[in-house]
Amino acid sequence: MEIRSGICRFGLWRIRILWSENLVHKVSFERFGEESYVPPQIKLFLSGKKDTLSPLTSVALTDGHPYNNIYRAVFEIPYGETKTYSEVAEICGTHHRTVGIAMKRNPTPLIIPCHRVVSKNSLGGFTPDIMIKKSLLEIEKKKRNLAGLS
DNA sequence: TCTGTTATTGCGC
DNA sequence: GCGCAATAACAGA
State pLDDT tens for residues A72-131: 999 999 999 999 999 999 999 889 999 999 999 999 999 999 999 999 888 899 988 899
A114 in active site: yes
Query: With a 7 Å cutoff on the CB, does A134 touch strand B?
Result: no
Order the strands of the A23-30 sheet from edge to edge.
A4-10, A13-20, A23-30, A57-58
Lowest-confidence range among A54-68, A91-105, A136-150? A136-150
User: Which residues 74-103 on A are within 7 A of strand B at the CB atom?
Assistant: 84-86, 96-97, 100-101, 103
Rounded to an integer, what distance in angstroms lies between the CA atom of residue A43 and that of residue A70?
Answer: 26
**Measured CA A39 to C1' B8 distance, in angstroms:** 34
Sign of the alpha-carbon dihedral angle for A112, A40, A25, A133: negative
